[in-house]
């Protein structure tokens, strides 16, 4: 598949009479957008605010972050199986508004949601502080069940990103990136002298508001399977989870997967990038065994020399990570695992809940237990009181002077395993 990603760089976002892009500025008709994304019976009110880099603004609790996109040529549409019909994506041309994102917030859904600070100490740890954010505040009706609340906010976020993305359809991109992966035998033959490298993409699927969707299907329901990397970059995978903010891949990160982008950058130079194997992270041992068995089998079946394995989440999924690593290595395929650590506030505790001697090539996203103090900011979008209950916070995290003491796991994207700080570790 060959995907052209047309990038329209946005330097500012403002409210205006018409939703459009002019001279690198995205203007948003607030009333029209509210009408477009509203109507869900589970939501009693929706509002939209703007947050720009450097402003004294804190957004919390952050549910999801989504990049506005539109399909221009080729099969399918954005967010297939959710917004568009279930067609296979990953080819043709898609336009993206770069430098801007939809951020969803409102009353907390589950305690594992996060913070995005647009300035100060917290801004250093989140890539989303660098974006011009269109923040959608969706407040649920009283007594709404958590799963219905999560779904309602999730759908509003995708509708908002789709609404904004449409303005890019007829624009001339500032830059076009081309990604291509050929059918397996053609791809293997193209660079016979280079090591064949794949990517095992572990998706958070533990339930209890820890869910990821592939073409609209809850990934708990799948067995490991093969995707073209371009499908991932073309909105086939999106977030629906409230796992700890630094551990979850918001939809934005799935759409801009740093591991895939780096592997494409090395394709034809140092490696032959063969494709993506998606797998899930289940709760029960039998499911973990099944998925890791299938994952290792697919690595062998594809004739891979090495794989990158990335993890989403922590604790229980550490077992899935090590199972995948161990079984893939036992198939004769070398692994590099990408994870973060929970090493305690002093950094002296065991970093992962599981380990194996075969896990000997590791890229770390950092220690999620590291403590930071966030300054008091002038404006809060959302609900500030949740910082005492979200993962990474504790009773008293919100101090009397307005500063906040939290672990960096409370910051959205802080140690994200497939985000923007990815470094290649060569294990082949």
Helices 30-37, 146-165: inter-axial angle, 10-degree rounding: 130
pLDDT of residue 416: 66
Based on the residue annotation, tell me whether 242 is a catalytic residue of this protein.
yes
Q: Note the pLDDT tens digit of each residue in 314-347.
A: 888 889 999 999 999 999 999 999 988 888 888 8
| CA distance linking residue 407 with residue 285, whole number of Å | 30
Q: State the residue for tokens 């069940």.
A: 145
Q: State the residue for tokens 């960096």.
A: 408
Q: Domain extents for the chain?
A: 2-410
Give the closest residue to 320 by CA, choosing from 357, 293, 360, 350: 293
Side-chain-facing half-sphere of 243: CA atoms under 13 Å? 26
From 242, 246, 299, 325, active-site residue: 242
CA angle 259, 261, 266 (to 5 degrees): 95
| CA distance linking residue 289 with residue 56, whole number of Å | 47
pLDDT of residue 417: 62
Give the closest residue to 279 by CA, choosing from 247, 251, 315, 321: 321
pLDDT of residue 427: 38
pLDDT of residue 424: 36
Q: Note the pLDDT tens digit of each residue in 87-146.
A: 999 999 999 999 999 999 999 887 778 999 999 999 999 999 999 999 999 999 999 999
Residue 193 CA, chain-centre distance (Å), reads 33
pTM (2 d.p.) = 0.94
**Which residues does the chain have with pLDDT short of 50?**
420-428
- Burial pattern 256-286, b for ≥16 Cβ within 10 A else e, equals bbbbbbbbbeebeebbbbbbbbbbbbbeeee
| CA distance linking residue 263 with residue 190, whole number of Å | 16
pLDDT of residue 425: 37
| CA distance linking residue 243 with residue 288, whole number of Å | 19
Measure Cα distances from 324 to 216, 281, 416 in Å: 25, 11, 19
Q: Cβ(94)–Cβ(4) under 8 Å? A: yes
Q: Is 405 exposed, middle or buried (0-12, 13-18, 19+ CB in 10 A)?
A: middle
């Amino acid at each position: 598949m060959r995907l052209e990603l047309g990038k329209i760089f946005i330097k500012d976002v403002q409210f205006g009479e018409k939703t459009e892009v002019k001279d690198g500025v995205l203007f948003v008709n607030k009333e029209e957008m509210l009408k477009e994304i509203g109507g869900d019976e589970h939501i009693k009110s929706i509002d939209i605010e703007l947050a720009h880099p450097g402003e004294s603004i804190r957004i919390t609790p952050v549910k999801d972050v989504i990049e506005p996109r539109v399909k221009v040529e080729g099969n399918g549409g954005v967010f297939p199986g959710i917004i568009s019909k279930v067609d296979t994506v990953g080819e043709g041309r898609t336009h993206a508004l770069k430098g801007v994102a939809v951020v969803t917030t409102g009353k907390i859904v589950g305690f594992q949601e996060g913070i995005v600070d647009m300035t100060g100490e917290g801004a250093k740890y989140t890539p989303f502080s660098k974006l011009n954010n269109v923040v959608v505040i969706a407040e649920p009706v009283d007594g709404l069940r958590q799963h219905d609340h999560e779904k309602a906010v999730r759908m509003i976020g995708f509708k908002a990103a789709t609404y904004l993305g449409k303005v890019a359809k007829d624009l001339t991109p500032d830059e076009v990136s081309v990604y291509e992966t050929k059918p397996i035998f053609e791809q293997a033959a193209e660079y016979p002298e280079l090591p064949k490298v794949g990517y095992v993409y572990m998706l958070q699927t533990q339930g209890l508001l820890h869910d990821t969707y592939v073409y609209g299907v809850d990934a708990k329901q799948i067995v490991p399977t093969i995707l073209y990397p371009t499908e991932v970059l073309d909105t086939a995978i999106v977030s629906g989870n409230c796992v700890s903010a630094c551990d979850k891949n918001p939809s934005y990160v799935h759409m801009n997967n740093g591991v895939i982008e780096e592997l494409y950058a090395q394709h034809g130079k140092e490696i032959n990038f063969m494709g993506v194997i998606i797998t899930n992270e289940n709760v029960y041992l039998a499911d973990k065994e099944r998925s890791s068995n299938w994952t290792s089998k697919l690595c062998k079946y594809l004739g891979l020399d090495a794989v990158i394995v990335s993890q989403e989440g922590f604790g229980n999924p550490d077992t899935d990570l090590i199972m995948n690593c161990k079984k893939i290595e036992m198939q004769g395929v070398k692994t590099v695992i990408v994870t973060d650590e929970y090493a305690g506030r002093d950094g002296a505790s065991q970093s992962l809940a599981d380990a194996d001697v075969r896990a000997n090539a590791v890229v770390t996203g950092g220690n999620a237990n590291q403590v930071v103090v966030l300054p008091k900011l002038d404006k809060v979008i959302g609900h500030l009181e949740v910082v005492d209950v979200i993962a990474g916070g504790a009773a008293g995290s919100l101090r009397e002077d307005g500063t906040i003491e939290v672990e960096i796991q409370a910051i959205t994207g802080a140690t994200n395993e497939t985000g923007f700080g990815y470094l290649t570790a060569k294990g082949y």
